[in-house]
Amino acid sequence: MKKTRVILLLVITAMLSLSAGAFAASNLTEIKAYLNSGIKFRLDGKPWRPLDDQGKDVLPITYNGTTYLPLRVVANAFDIPITWDGSTQTVGMRESSNLTLYSKEVKVDNWSEKFYDVIDKKQLVFGNHQYDGAYAFTAENAGLGWYEGSPNLKFNFGTKYNTLHLILYSPSSMKIRILNGSNQQLTEEISLEADKVTELDVNLQSSQYAVVSAYDAANQAEKPLLYVLKDSYVTTAATPASQ
């Protein structure tokens, strides 16, 4: 009996949702294949079920003795980021779309008592790690809490992004929150520990702007600085390709 080969990263046509016009394109070839419910899978030695983004089972396809799975199913299993560019009909794998705060594309505005664009590396050793740049601004005293126009940094990324990965350092315990350009709150109030680097992901919900606002939870007489490390970045998720 011919041994069935399992190919994992394959069949792009099975994962793409194309218009009726695209299906008529000359680069597509019609084939006769079968959904195969008899094949089982193991991943890292453990039973594994191919699932789509909604958690539904995905059956492999058998064609000419070869078993195929949708690319996105396998990419998700191995944590391989993929993108789909419909204009060029191109699938990208492990292509970074991150934009860091070092980029000149990112415009920064602030409303605070003091604001610094920190490039002196001697001031940027936090948590035994050397950073190369940061934006720093003074937080408000805790007694005032949140109010319209609380001390903040406003970032304009130039285009819409889905996720903001923030890397923050505060010498004092602080409370922060993240808003979009329309002053809509994207996060609940977040507590930062004193003298600690904190990393967090914020769902920008397809926003071009992010506002980081802060107040000093310790309510010190001298307002402390909140450092937004420039290693922070935004990333955009491509429009999901169908299974």
Q: CA 161 → CA 32, 85, 101, 237, distances in Å?
A: 40, 16, 13, 8
- Residue 241 domain flag: no
- Say if residue 23's pLDDT is above 60: no
As a whole number of angstroms, the distance between CA 3 and CA 171 comes to 63
Per-residue confidence (pLDDT) for residue 77, from 0 to 100: 81
* Same domain, residue pair 226 and 106: yes
Which residues share a beta bridge with 61?
35, 68
pLDDT tens, position by position, 42-92: 999 999 999 887 788 999 999 998 999 998 888 878 767 676 666 677 887
Cα torsion 99, 53, 71, 92 to 10°: value is -10
* Same domain, residue pair 52 and 131: no
pLDDT tens, position by position, 139-150: 887 665 556 668
* Same domain, residue pair 65 and 146: no
* Same domain, residue pair 106 and 84: no
As a whole number of angstroms, the distance between CA 14 and CA 68 comes to 9
pTM: 0.59
* Structural domain for 167, as ranges: 99-235
- Residue 243 domain flag: no
Domain tally for the chain? 2
* Same domain, residue pair 173 and 106: yes
As a whole number of angstroms, the distance between CA 108 and CA 146 comes to 21
Per-residue confidence (pLDDT) for residue 147, from 0 to 100: 62
Q: Is residue 160 a contact partner of residue 210, using CB atoms and an 8 Å limit? A: no
* Same domain, residue pair 58 and 120: no
pLDDT tens, position by position, 144-188: 555 666 889 999 999 889 999 999 999 999 999 999 989 899 998
Mean per-residue pLDDT, 18-38: 72
Per-residue confidence (pLDDT) for residue 115, from 0 to 100: 96
Mean per-residue pLDDT, 221-231: 90
Domain boundary, last residue among 75, 93, 111: 93
* 3-state class (DSSP) for residue 46: strand
Query: What is the pLDDT of the chain when averaged over all its residues?
Result: 82
* Same domain, residue pair 60 and 35: yes
